[in-house]
Amino acid sequence: MKKTAEDYKHIKGWGIDADPKNDPTYPIKKRTDDEHDGYSWDRPAQQPIDIEVLHSNERPNVTAVFGTSVPPSGLSGMIRRQAFKYGEGSFAHWIPLMLADRVNVVEGIVDDLMHAKVPNIFAEQGMKAEWKHNPMGLLQKFAIGTAIATAAVVLLARRK
């Protein structure tokens, strides 16, 4: 097979980690066989569960530590709670979570407004950088968006 670099000396470190046993058919696991004993290890202390933590129905409990960034709330939270009734391999788990994420975006805007904050969506999308580095692309996006919106308005007006 063609090789383009027959002399590898110019490549610093060439072959220094070569290991003929690094073959995927060769066991790579550092087997301890501890997993044969099931869920029996000396568990770390449990982080206090003082917020709602949804956990996979494929495990018996909440892990010893967990993130507390955004507990489920509102309509999106209700959808997420339903999703967690299903296993991780099920579309009934993931599709509702994706739906909840989209609902959550609307909740985020409402929450901003309730806190007297009008989200600057143009800035949040980083359009200042787009304008600086890709003005033609931005204008193109704007033109396409305008065309689609106009077409939609015309279509709706005709139906009436």
The residue among 67 and 156 lying less far from other proteins, judged by its C-beta, is: 67
103 close to 79: Cβ distance less than 8 angstroms: yes
Instruction: Give the separation between CA 81 and CA 123, rounded to whole angstroms.
Output: 33
Nearest distance, CB of residue 125 and other proteins, angstroms? 5
Nearest distance, CB of residue 147 and other proteins, angstroms? 18
DSSP letters, 43-67, are PPPPPP--S-----TTSSS--SS--
Nearest distance, CB of residue 54 and other proteins, angstroms? 6
- For residue 52, which of 24, 18, 19, 76 has the smallest C-alpha distance? 76
The residue among 5 and 114 lying less far from other proteins, judged by its C-beta, is: 5
The residue among 16 and 157 lying less far from other proteins, judged by its C-beta, is: 16
Nearest distance, CB of residue 139 and other proteins, angstroms? 14
Q: At what angle do helices 74-83 and 91-114 cross, to 10 degrees?
A: 170
The residue among 32 and 116 lying less far from other proteins, judged by its C-beta, is: 32
